Structures are given as structure tokens and as C-alpha cells.
Amino acid sequence: MATVTIAPGQRLSPAEAAAYVDDLGARVIAYAKERVGGSEFMRDCSVGTLPKDLIQLFWLNWHAYVFEINTIYSATLQRHVAFFKRNIDLLAPLTEKIADELMNPAPPGHLLIVWKQGEIFGLTQQQMLDYEMIAPCQAYLDWFRGILYDGTPTEFYACSFTEEYVGYWAQQFREGMAKMGYESARAMYFTLHEEADLKPHQNAAGLYARRHRVQDG
């Protein structure tokens, strides 16, 4: 894979900027497919051999991550307010993302899907809310928080390069769930993320609203 390089302070044309971003995105996906998709956990998931207690342990930590990462993204509007005043054209995409996370399929947002999937895995909402993350998972969340408060806007928003890979990860997880007896309707979180993260982002909010509307939490 050819790497696109730029010199410090170099200004890019729109075409050059697009090529640079595409290169970064491709490298992130390749790295994630190797480190995440090729991990022992995901290999076992792919062949349908993950034990239920391990799935539950993963989901308890994933729920805690999703709950907090969404609040971290919400905090970016205040943390980077000066940046958005200078780049006002970027304000709409950020607020759209925050609104999608918190409003679809209904308030309080994507957590409704996470709770429903957890219940399918045999967990209660209270179990998910009360759970304290294990140290490695907490460290990953703290990394995001640290970049928000100690890094630059560029460094923080570069973290969003992982979102496209979430679609590939969800696809791999959904296929593994099918081998364990979880058809698409019982692997709703993964089905929705596979579609939303592998399609243009402008379609993502509509997917959550049109499919699997969740009522009463």
C-alpha cells in the first residue's frame, strides 16, 4: 500500500486532501482487520465457538464503552468550540453525529439497541449499568478521553477513522452469531452497525430510525 506523505505545514488541494484521508482510512482498516478481526476472540466468534459467559463478559464491557464514548463525543462541542467558530462549515456534521447517537432510534439513542442486544444475550439493563469495566477496556476509553482533553482537534477526530471498520467487525460478529443460533433479528446490534457503518454516513441515521424502532427502552 503506497503511503501518502505531507510535509509539516503543507497546504493541500481538495484532491490531495482526499487522497491523504483515503490513505489513512485504508491503513486503519488494514491494521484493525489484522489486530481485531484476526484476534483469538474474533476467530472463535467467526467459527461459532464463543461460550455464552464470554459473550456476556464482552457485552458488559462493550455497553460501558458505548455509554461513555457517546458522552465523550458530545463533550467535543464544548471542548473544541473555538475550532468550530473558525471552521463553522464543520459544525453541522459534528452536531448531526451527536444527534444521531443520542436520538436514534429514540432518545436516549443507540443505547436502546445496546440494551436490547444485551437482553438477548441474557443480561439485564441493571447488570449492564452497574458493571465496572475491566482495566484494558477502561484504558481504551481513557485513551479517547485523554486525546479529547490533551490532544488537538485533528488528533481527536482522526479517531473516527475506526468507525468504518466497526462495520466490518459487526459483519464478522453477525456471521459468527448466526453459527451460534442468533439469526439477524437476534443479532440486531451487529446487523444495524454492519449496514450503517459500511454505507455512506448520511444514510446511517435513517437506518436506525427505519429498522428496529425500540419503544419504552
**Over the stretch 78-136, which tens digit does the pLDDT of each residue have?**
999 999 999 999 999 999 989 999 998 899 999 999 999 999 999 999 999 999 999 99
Q: pTM of the full predicted structure?
A: 0.85
The mean per-residue pLDDT over the stretch 172-181 comes to 96
Q: How many CA atoms lie within 13 A of 45 on its CB side?
A: 24
pLDDT on residue 8: 79
Where does the pLDDT of residue 200 fall: very low under 50, low under 70, confident under 90, or very high at 90 and above? Answer: low
pLDDT above 70 (res 20): yes
Q: What is the domain partition of the chain in residue ranges?
A: 14-210
* Distance between CA atoms of residues 210 and 84, nearest Å: 31
- Give the chain's mean pLDDT: 88
pLDDT above 70 (res 217): no
Residues contacting residue 8 through CB under 8 Å, at least 6 positions apart: none
The answer to whether the beta carbons of residues 213 and 106 sit under 8 Å apart is yes
Q: Which residue has the cell 439485564?
A: 124
Identify residue 111 by its one-letter amino acid code: L
pLDDT on residue 208: 40
pLDDT on residue 214: 43
The mean per-residue pLDDT over the stretch 167-172 comes to 95
The answer to whether the beta carbons of residues 94 and 78 sit under 8 Å apart is no
Q: Please state which of the four CATH numbers 3.40.1800.10, 3.40.50.300, 1.20.120.1200, 1.20.910.10 is assigned to the domain occupying 14-210.
A: 1.20.910.10
Where does the pLDDT of residue 212 fall: very low under 50, low under 70, confident under 90, or very high at 90 and above? Answer: very low
The mean per-residue pLDDT over the stretch 173-183 comes to 95
pLDDT on residue 80: 95
The mean per-residue pLDDT over the stretch 129-157 comes to 95
pLDDT on residue 123: 98
Three cell numbers, residue 191:
446487523
Nearest to 106 by CA among 6, 18, 11, 209: 209
pLDDT on residue 3: 66
Percent of the chain with pLDDT over 90: 71
Residues contacting residue 153 through CB under 8 Å, at least 6 positions apart: 80, 83
* Number of Cβ within a 10 Å radius of residue 172: 19
pLDDT above 80 (res 207): no
* Distance between CA atoms of residues 144 and 151, nearest Å: 10
